[in-house]
Structure 1
Amino acid sequence: MNRVARCCVSYLICLGLVVALAVFLPSSLPVYSQKTSPLTTEIRGVWITNVASGVLFFPWGINRAINQLSALKFNTIYPVVWNRGHTFYKSPVAKMTIGSDTQLLLNFMHGGQDVLAKIVTLAKKKDLRVIPWFEYGFMTPHYSQLARRYPSWLTIGQEGINSIQDAPPEEIDNVLVSHQAWLNPLHPQVQKFIQGLILEVVRDYDVDGIQFDDHFGMPVQFGYDRFTIKLYQQEHQGKSPPTDAFNSEWMRWRADKITGFMAEIYQAVKAVKPNVKISLSPNYQAFAYRYYLQDWETWVKKGLVNELVLQVYRNDQNSFIAQLELPSVKLAQSLIPVEIGISTGTVGNPVKIAQIREQVQAVRDRNFDGISFFYWESLWGYIVPESPQQRRKAFFEMFNAKAVRLSQPKKL
């Protein structure tokens, strides 16, 4: 079975799972009797993806998600809009570049309706922020139309290595892993394409922000493609890049180029809609820089990020807390709203609600601005250690007070 066929089968399995779960998951929630607390200020978010999840593929799935999240006092959603070389909205830029304006199965299941437009409309009625998530960043599968049409847009490693594992080594047990090609973030045509996707979402939809994550960078082993080598030589008196991918100057040069592109995006977005937030959900700074040349600490210092959602997908509580207390995180806390991303599990790796409660409390004890969960389907949708009803009740208890969102950035 080829990769395209496997991808289709994966989608169908996800859809079947959603249909089966629909029997057990009511669209409305029972009325709990617990007394609520006074109003509080806290960002409460969740990522909505298409990977191992069918929520986006049925109109009632989207309705159910937004209704349940609102009832349980969430206030922010991060719906995927860019994944596996496809957009999840009607994209003129994608249509012009790769020949398709949205993910085909999504388009079929919704009868051609624009899913992002529907999400925005429903969420706004429930007072939920919508911050579209460019999940795949510069990643794309080798079999994607994008990679096949524009091979010169891809960066590579030495000896022709052209793909990497799409998850950090310490997180392989917590996420679905595959090998991906990588668009070159230094290439001007790639930059034009990515920026085009971003700007049309900002311009054409009533969104509160846009979000990038750990895939918005370049794997440290890449950068040995013809374009990048030539660019490096032009700026280094004809010298080729070091063969050591971890050479400090070579790392800094590539990271600074990515920072420069981030600055261009920030300025372009703010020129279209000044109040739209730039949200970033990276791994911790040392890892992000060393392995993905993503110097987000510098981005925060330069004012290129309005909201940070740090991914801290750890099962061990001591390791989880250690991530919260890193100097780069404390610096970000002093400058902008910082949320902590908590894993609620995957299909093969469910997380017990007791661990989720403990991690939420650790975040609150350290005065972070909010929490976001990865991801919607595993909040209370899978057959997990507890029943869906038990998990929903637990979230009701954790979020028993309605929260208002931060509206102004922090200042030194």
Structure 2
Amino acid sequence: MASPSFQERRGVWLTNVASAVLFVPGSSQRAIKQLAEHHFNTVYPVVWNRGYTFYPSALAKEMIGKPQEPFINWTRGNVDILKVIIEESHQRGLEVLPWFEYGLMIPRSSLLAQKHPDWLTESKEGSANTFFQDELEAKNEKNNGNLIQRWRKSAYERQVSQLAWLNPLHPEVQQLIKGLMLEVVMNYPVDGVQLDDHFGMPVELGYDPLTVKIYQQEHRGKSPPKDTHNGEWMRWRAAKMTAFMTDLVKTIKTINPDIIVSLSPNSHPFSYQNYLQDWKTWVRRGLIDELVLQVYRNDLNSFNRELHQSAVKLARKKIPVSIRILSGTLNNTVKIEQIKEQVETVRKQGFDGVSFFYWESLWGYLTPESPYKRRRIFDELFSK
């Protein structure tokens, strides 16, 4: 159980998808003001998404010729939105942990993928495209013949099937990710940085020439198994991800030893089996300062089961662990009573806090109840 002096983590993600918070002048300031008024204490603003940065980046300009995401450049001009968010948040007592949302994932059509195709890892069929499996889709899918549900699923699959993956074994990819994170840590007074479920390698990938060459060098010329789920092949790739994570954290901590390295993954079995993201080992090795576990469930029993997994119990013995709750998306609204029930469940079990995906669905236009009702319930939950 948390001690009486411990401050509960109360966070929310600020994203560029189905949200105007980064693009409309004054929106980020209004959002942070409202969050502070409702006793939130943390924001996770997106800074890396779809091959673009959401801050003026010298590295991005060098790599792809564009210093930041084009639409934010068009709507906000010379405004540094990350700087605005940090200044407003710190003024109101909120911590800021920039969120490198896309991790190693990029659209196949992105400038980065087009300019550096050799940076992408591939499937055994030689394709750089991959299908991002979302645990929310896997767990909450309702294939009941509903036409709208089938249309949404089809649209989702079309979108994510056009994704590609930067090769975590490629030295220049490693330098890119480290460089982006160092830009943020060195140029902004951030409280931490956050990675999530996209910082891994899909299990069907790893058959690109570079990865195969490295594997052969370490296996006396033997090629990787064709079975993508071969135990040794999975362990080898996961170990390479862990080595990259180790180097990344060491580099960041050299610049700022006090920076919080936050990770917001799916459950460990899902993360490892699908994305070779062995975050349990990362916890054991002290690579993570905060775990914000994604638990997107509608059913309370299923929600509870995720909180009791062995990897979660291990993490709770070593670092602060809070729970990432879905407050709604454009296609999946969530009732406030479910949110309240899940927050109360997390608290009863003594976790270190809760964070919500995402801002617009807290009490904005993506809600099944009135904004007033939702704000009132959040105020009741967090005024204690």
Residue aligning to 1:205: 188
Compute the TM-score of the two structures, normalised by the length of structure 2: 0.92
User: Corresponding residue for 1:293?
Assistant: 276
Match for residue 154 of structure 1?
Answer: 120
For residues 174 and 69 of structure 2, what CA distance do their matches in structure 1 show? 21
**Aligned equivalent of 1:304, options 279, 287, 296:** 287
Distance 1:122 1:103 in 2: 21
Given the alignment, which residue of 129, 136, 148 partners 2:95?
A: 129
* Local SS of the residue matching 1:342: strand
* Correspondences of 1:366-381 after superposition (within 5 Å): 366-381=349-364
Summarize deviations over 1:100-158 as a string: whole Å, max 9, x none: 11001101211211111111111110010000000000000011000000000001101
Equivalent positions of 1:10-409 (< 5 A) are 41-168=7-134, 170-171=136-137, 178-179=160-161, 180-401=163-384
Instruction: Kindly report the root-mean-square deviation, in angstroms, between the aligned alpha carbons of the 2 structures.
Output: 1.5
How many Å separate the matches in 1 of 2:167 and 2:134? 20
1:140 partner letter:
I
Q: 1:261 to 1:40 in 2, by over 3 A?
A: closer
Once the two structures are superposed, residues 306-363 of structure 1 have per-residue CA deviations (whole angstroms, 9 ceiling, x without a partner) of 0000000011110000000011101101100001000011112100000000000110
Separation (CA, whole Å) in 1 of partners of 2:171 and 2:301 = 43
SS at match of 2:26: helix
* Cα pair distance change 1:381/1:39, threshold 3 Å: farther
- 3-state DSSP of counterpart to 1:159: coil
Deviation at 1:85, TM superposition (A): 0.4
Unaligned stretches of 5+ in structure 1?
A: 1-37, 402-412
Q: CA deviation at 1:41?
A: 2.3
- SS across alignment from 2:40: coil
Aligned pair count? 364
| Structure 2: gaps spanning 5 or more residues | 142-152
Partner of 2:194, secondary structure, is strand
**One-letter amino acid of the counterpart of residue 178, structure 1:** V
Q: TM-score, normalised by structure 1?
A: 0.86
Specify the SS of the correspondent of 1:186. coil
Indicate the SS of the match to 1:334: helix
| Residue pair 2:262, 2:292 contacting (<8 A) in 1 also | yes
2:354 counterpart SS class: strand
Q: Secondary structure at the match of 1:52?
A: coil
Note if contact 1:94-1:102 (Cα within 8 Å) is conserved in structure 2. yes
CA distance in 1, matches of 2:175, 2:200: 15
Conserved 8 A contact 2:295-2:306: yes
Q: Please say if residues 101 and 196 of structure 2, whose CA atoms lie closer than 8 Å, have aligned partners that are also in contact.
A: yes
- Matched with 1:10 is none
1:185 deviates by 0.7
Q: Answer whether contact 2:291 2:322 (CA < 8 A) is retained.
A: yes
Contact 2:329/2:366, CA 8 A, preserved across alignment = no
Report the more deviating stretch, 335-344 or 55-64: 55-64
SS at match of 1:339: strand
Moved over 4 A (4+): 172-177
- The answer to whether the 8 Å contact 1:171/1:313 transfers is no
Tell me, what secondary structure is at the counterpart of 2:293? strand
